[in-house]
Structure 1
């Protein structure tokens, strides 16, 4: 009898052991309806199949559990933002934009919207128009400093994805150390964590954000999220030819069998969870010694708590939330091809002035400058 394939999700909830209950936003039903309307408005569900796929992915449910305390307009925005990130990722892994040249054009288009959301016309590509809407809506809630940090983190994540494309084309997974740094960027953890600040109404000033201990807390949270996600997405990424998944990294460089790699990753996650909880505890003890104004002390505490809730909520979505995103399907009954959401009527994304076909976009000096 053939041995059943190991279940990457087995035991995953117990791995985190975060001391926070799974909470759901009281306006979760409104978030579901809002997301469907928003996706239709910007052409993100061009066919009935894509609409069904979006519903089955349950992105609004993920946002409802990851941002349970956000005021309703910000919770609705979070559901749209999470959906946009996942749909963008699909364009790379399964769609028509997974080459260096095409993804470089995506980076240019996203950067242009960050500079001027109002410049995107009604005839632009669906995901770019949706991105302009997200930028416009979040604008009144954030300071220029937050917007600059968020934009830099998002562009770093897109450059991280560009590096993943190059590694995929080479066919060689990065080492564990290389992947740890790359994963913090390409997983979009840091821009997502930025949005937690905005959604709980507790933006951190830069001097607090850059405290070494808080950065260690963020890095541990990013690793826990990225590696947990890898356990769920490994088959999807293996099928897409990607090599930047921790399971694949350990299989290649350490010569581990799939079930051995899963066990090794669970051990790594357990250690990082302990690092996360230790940093959280130290931050709570650090607050009085910093002599912070009450508003800043409250913001720091709110963000530490909200980030732990975010991890708990996203873990729920991965393991118990009913999403079909990582469901392994029979090749004969695979879902329809990914709709191209990055091509507009003019059949091209906005390109950086002077860019020639075949030119490469250089990465920042470090894939994860804040990583």
Structure 2
């Protein structure tokens, strides 16, 4: 699979047709985020030699939040960097096939968050998380902080389940995989939309079926397009936690056909998200939310709906899923064709 399959979604799905905007001050972010990641020990050596160093998380942050305060965008980029560093740790030995090891790592992380400080000599992931949590949570309510912690626990459980599947050689069925992938593709990142924007969603809105459909649909699109980009690298190491691989096993088709099936599902899921968004005004009316709560919902909805295309553009310019140290000309040419 290559970038042309991934970018074909923009031709098939109207909401993905227009390229994402870029924060006008994004040029400042690269050095800031790279310096932070190096200083915290998340990136070691030449950035171009590691998937995390090549990821360019600041570019994704600047595309998801093209109009937000630059300091908040920088914080989100650091969270993205941390989440990908955690992902790299969980996807490789010794944690890749040990559910108990995943839980042990997360126990250390969650305890550090609750203490408010990392242990002496703690691994970089722990120290960086405490720093990010302190910078993010101070302005948020107890309800939001609890929600964020629950999302971290959901991520822990999803990654532990993946680890067990790898150990026993189990390939999830498609229906089971979509729910599992939603947990294992850091769900807590979506909760960070609120502190970046300086708003907070009404808890009763989050419990409605319409909101859950919107949030889950966007999360699925991001996860599945990411699976298309990472398929070849994950297949090479025998990891079946990838939507094309799951569909190929379930339907007895080759990787090319499975990739086309994923693109079809992406188109359907985008429509689910937009249909849910169109129903939100009536829902807000029924919930009797005040003006501030309605405004907060509108801002978060816009970011959610813009995220799939922002993520698609980031995949085209990021080097995270390249096997070498530089982005291929195919990836750059495909991105240029969208401009």
TM-score by length of 2: 0.88
Q: Partners in 2 of 1:315 and 1:299 — Cα distance? A: 25
Deviation at 1:51, TM superposition (A): 7.1
User: RMSD in angstroms over aligned alpha carbons?
Assistant: 2.2
Shift in CA distance, 6/297, structure 1 to aligned 2, threshold 3 Å = closer
Q: Partners in 1 of 2:215 and 2:33 — Cα distance? A: 28
Q: What secondary structure, in the 3-state scheme, does the structure 2 residue paired with 1:141 have?
A: coil
Deviation at 1:10, TM superposition (A): 4.5
Q: What secondary structure, in the 3-state scheme, does the structure 2 residue paired with 1:288 have?
A: helix
Shift in CA distance, 12/67, structure 1 to aligned 2, threshold 3 Å = same
Instruction: Note if 1:327 corresponds to 2:327.
Output: no
Q: Partners in 2 of 1:299 and 1:193 — Cα distance? A: 14
Instruction: Note if 1:310 corresponds to 2:324.
Output: no
Higher alpha-carbon deviation: 258-267 or 4-13: 4-13
Q: Partners in 2 of 1:33 and 1:91 — Cα distance? A: 24
Alignment size in residue pairs: 323
Shift in CA distance, 51/146, structure 1 to aligned 2, threshold 3 Å = farther
Shift in CA distance, 114/294, structure 1 to aligned 2, threshold 3 Å = same
Match of 1:233 among 227, 230, 233: 230
Q: What corresponds to 2:292 in structure 1?
A: 295
Cα deviations by residue, 1:317-337 (Å, 9 ceiling, x for unpaired) = 012xx211112459xxxxxxx
Q: What corresponds to 2:181 in structure 1?
A: 183
| Greater length-normalized contact order (CA 8 Å, ≥ 6 residues apart) | 1
Unpaired runs of at least 5, structure 2: 326-339
Residues 1-371 of structure 1 mapped to structure 2, 5 A cutoff: 8-18=5-15, 22-48=20-46, 54-100=52-98, 101-118=100-117, 120-121=118-119, 123-188=121-186, 190-319=187-316, 322-329=317-324
Q: Partners in 2 of 1:12 and 1:106 — Cα distance? A: 37
Which structure: greater helix fraction? 2
Unpaired runs of at least 5, structure 1: 331-371
Shift in CA distance, 52/108, structure 1 to aligned 2, threshold 3 Å = closer
Q: Partners in 1 of 2:12 and 2:313 — Cα distance? A: 12
Q: Partners in 1 of 2:54 and 2:110 — Cα distance? A: 30
Deviation at 1:275, TM superposition (A): 0.8
Cα deviations by residue, 1:153-175 (Å, 9 ceiling, x for unpaired) = 11211210111111112222100
Q: Is the 8 A contact 2:20 2:310 kept in 1?
A: yes
Q: What secondary structure, in the 3-state scheme, does the structure 2 residue paired with 1:78 have?
A: helix
